[in-house]
Structure 1
Amino acid sequence: MNALSDSRSRLHSVVKAYDIRGLVGEGLTEEVVEAIGAAFVDEVGAAGRDVVVGHDMRDSSPGFAAAFARGVQARGGDVVSIGLCSTDESYFASGFLDAPAAMFTASHNPATYNGIKLSRAGAQGLSMDTGLAAVRDRAGDYLESGIPAVDRPGTFREQDVLADYAGYLRSLVDLSGIRPLTVVVDAGNGMGGLTVPAVLGEAAGLPALPITVIPLYFELDGSFPNHEANPLEPKNLVDLQRAVLDHGADLGLAFDGDADRCFVVDELGQAVTPSAVAAIVALREIARARAEDPEAEITVIHNLITSNIVPETIEAAGAVPLRTRVGHTLIKDAMRASGAVFGGEHSAHYYFRDFWSADNGMLAAMHVLAEFGLQDEPLSALAARFTPYAMSGEINSTVDDVPAAYTRVVEAFASRAEFDELDGLTVTGTVGQDEPFWWFSVRPSNTEPLLRLNVEAQDERTMAAIRDEVLALIRA
């Protein structure tokens, strides 16, 4: 394989359905990133306009951000470098400045990885179907033939938006009147170490809140010396759970590497499910929207693997639940198309109409703090009201023949379930009036030969029985 075709091959390997991600020095090199920056300007029409560039704390991120900026300037885009930031801070800059943006991060992936999350102006997502494929293909052309010069190369300036970001989040959720809370926060050596002191503390010059933050791993370190910055894995919550108990804290918060996802732990050290968080935040956003316009029809999005408690809570509050496929760009698009006030995923991504329909883990955490801080009960009691059913969590299985696995599942459940294929295969039990409900979802991974299983049922026994039966079929 010659160098040019190798470059195109690398582009195809790192450009995923919703973002760009790969091994540093293999799939991702500064040459590739510079070509992507140039192609991005062309795709979003940013010649002569600002393009926001931010990055996380990984060792490779500053160099990649600089390479991307060179590509942007080469095609006439004016770079606004916001430096170290969280992903949701880059979305804020995209919305605040009404400019397309690039965020360099590999989120929760190990230190050997990096990537790019791209947005159109106003934090609008860019996926394979909405421009990412075109960026990939044009970048391939530029790697082959060089980046064409323009009459007016772009400019470069630096702009610190952290204080504006923190102030904006404070304007959306008022925490000044809550009871005093002690909160342990595990930043996982990721970007939460920068944003938490600014939003929940006084680092950005904002007034003090009645919140005592006990920091864990706030030092920015892209080698992740303490644990992976992936709170979705239970092993990465152990330090937080122990610290909550040791300090007698009211709750704990864990952020992933780029701090756009937030996980919650109660005062007993027990993880609060992201579905429970979604239900709690949905109620608050519905109430806020209804206060603004009592006659408005209010829509709230949930993806198809959230607990049944989420649509039940939305309906009970008089709003309309809208079920969607899994995937952050898909949900951003659905948020905009439907005018939804809020969207929740069971992966702990939370989307807000008043945050340009983008996801923001910090904002979700603030809503939990606000709701919890206005009542006397412990968080475990509040969370229990929104966790009435048994869930398996996501279980991954390596599968060589996905269609054959699907066929085995359909044949086994054909007489006792209904099926839909909105995203993979969702199977809902057709049960009698006094029988416990159940459902499960089987979805293929976009990037690996995996099937992802999620099961929910009315009780633990039913959930375990369905889970074990389906896993046996998938892995046969």
Structure 2
Amino acid sequence: MTKLNCFKAYDIRGKLGTELNEDIAYKIGRAYGQIYQPKTIAVGCDVRLTSEDLKQATIRGLNDAGVNVIDLGMTGTEEVYFAAFHLDVQGGIEVTASHNPMDYNGMKLVRENARPISADTGLKEIQSLAESNQFIEVANKGTTEKYNILPEFVEHLMTYIEPTKIRPLKLVVNAGNGAAGHVIDAIEEKFKQLQVPVEFIKIHHEADGTFPNGIPNPILIENRDSTRNAVIEHQADMGIAWDGDFDRCFLFDEKGQFIEGYYIVGLLAQAFLLKQSGEKVVHDPRLVWNTLDVLEQYNGIAVQSKSGHAFIKDVMREHNAVYGGEMSAHHYFRDFAYCDSGMIPWLLTLSVLSETQQSLSSLVEDMITKFPCSGEINFKVTDTQITIQKIFDHFAPQNPSIDKTDGISLDFGAWRLNVRASNTEPLLRLNIESRLDKQPKPMQSYVDELTQLIQA
């Protein structure tokens, strides 16, 4: 029995050749089919050079397990999510390594209605069967047909905005040579039909699995210059950059400044509550004060969840929340089967820009001033749990209020911190925020104190 190391907490990811190859992809498809026995599932893949072959191997495995496959071609993850709740299918698989290095690939798996399959909800069973190789021969193999989901996906995206209310705007869009470009083109075409006065300035637009401009991951500071510079050069109203499978989008204001995902959560919560007050919004515990402030102002109800898409989606379903946001730029929507999307957030932001007649910088300026934050700081440590305990022991004499929803959050009134172990990498993740009205110390002094403590 071969141990498969590509199975992670939420998805499948591994080094090409050794941890993930066509043989392993075939077994994953075969195991998915045998365990869930769906009649039909939708399968897509990102632009990586190995993705198409891995996708075809997965499809062969599914067909051999008796499953019919709708092959969506080259897609972003959310197109597979959309297919999984929009078409008459019982699940979906996207072959993608998102923002991982060039020599990696992976998969994201969902069941009917795009419900996530993670370690707690079936991924371990798929792993065991793929490792044991104990596949049952079926009498009738499945079939495969190609299908273009794009027109229906774009129609769905249009339901989040009122096209007649969008004011003239100029957008810089940076697909990072990933999978987002074809959707932007289709939205641009739709806007022309509907006479929506939005101009798109496209950079790094063509899908190219060699990633000539680097792996698309705008959360890394060094990957933001091209978007920022284009916004300034073209005097655009907003810049948008996506990761490889475009399930995350990152926004830049009209000055080219990158806006932390934390403040976008507040902005999107506001967008929904302007339409319908009293709705529930799910947030993670890393940074919370701005989100709570927005929900108070616009009459929304806050629900806290552990970080990570499987947890957020479950909590949203349980509370029927209209929206859920993580500061890591994952945004989830009830009308999108509680899945995350990198297209809906910027469309909603267009709405808010149009309705308020304000610039993006002025919309988030107050939030950033009132609730400054450190952004997420990652530390490589030998033992995350020991380090978290050390931080707790250090601050315990100050009697902070304590929350253990995810890692540990300590609230001192004027400032708070959250520290947690990463679910996906051997890292300790630290977030700090403060309240301007409590006249705290400068943010850097908190960051310095914690950095010294963690590295000591």
Same fold? TM cut 0.5:
yes
Contact 2:46/2:76 (8 A) holds in 1: yes
Displacement of 1:53 in angstroms is 0.3
The letter for the 2-side match of 1:31 is D
Q: 1:438·1:462 contact (CA, 8 Å) conserved in 2?
A: no
Deviations 1:19-68 (A, max 9, x none): 1011111210111111111111233331xx11100001000100011011
**Equivalent of residue 148 in structure 1, options 136, 146, 149:** 136
2:273 matched residue in structure 1: 286
Question: Does residue 1:118 correspond to 2:105, yes or no?
Answer: no
Give SS of 2:141's match.
coil
Q: What corresponds to 2:151 in structure 1?
A: 163
The letter for the 2-side match of 1:171 is: T
Is 1:353 aligned with 2:344?
no
Letter in 1 for 2:115: Q
The CA deviation at 1:316 is 2.5
Cα drift, residue 203 of structure 1 = 6.8
Equivalenced residue count is 450
**Residue aligning to 2:284:** 303
> Match of 1:94?
84
- 1:434 counterpart residue number: none
User: Which of 12, 20, 33 matches 1:28?
Assistant: 20
The letter of the residue matching 1:473 is: L
Alpha-carbon separation, structure 2, partners of 1:270 and 1:219: 24
Mapped partners of 1:446, 1:227: distance in 2: 25
Q: Which residue of 2 aligns with 1:176?
A: 164
- Residue 53 of structure 1, aligned match among 20, 43, 61: 43
TM-score, normalised with respect to structure 2: 0.95
Aligned partner of 2:423 in structure 1 is 446
Q: How much does 1:285 deviate? A: 1.7
Moved more, 183-192 or 316-325: 316-325
2:94 partner SS: strand
Distance 1:375 1:285, change over 3 A: closer
Structure-1 residue corresponding to 2:94: 103
Q: Which residue of 2 aligns with 1:67?
A: 57
The whole-number CA distance in structure 2 between the counterparts of 1:447 and 1:375 is 38
Are 1:458 and 2:435 an aligned pair? yes
Q: In structure 1, how many angstroms separate the alpha carbons of the residues matched to 2:260 and 2:340? A: 17
Counterpart AA for 1:277: I
Answering whether residue 448 of structure 2 is matched by residue 471 of structure 1, we say no
Contact between 1:163 and 1:204, CA under 8 Å: does it hold in 2?
A: no
Q: Distance in 2 between matches of 1:129 and 1:192?
A: 30
Matches within 5 A, 1:194-273: 194-199=182-187, 201-202=188-189, 207-273=194-260
Contact 2:191 2:198 in 1 (8 A): no
Following the alignment from structure 2 to structure 1, what is the Cα–Cα distance between the partners of residues 238 and 13?
33
Q: Report the Cα offset of residue 357 of structure 1.
A: 0.5
- Letter of the 1:438 counterpart: W
Give the superposed CA RMSD: 1.7
Helix, strand or coil: the match of 1:400? coil
Partner of 1:111: helix, strand, or coil?
coil
Query: 1:251: Cα distance to partner?
Result: 1.0
What 5-or-longer segments of structure 1 have no aligned partner? 291-296, 432-436
Structure 1 pair 219/203, CA: closer, same or farther in 2 (3 Å)?
farther
Question: Matched residues in 2 for 1:447 and 1:285: separation?
Answer: 30
Q: Is residue 421 from structure 1 mapped to residue 404 from structure 2 by the alignment? A: yes
Residue 343 (1) aligns with residue 324 (2): yes
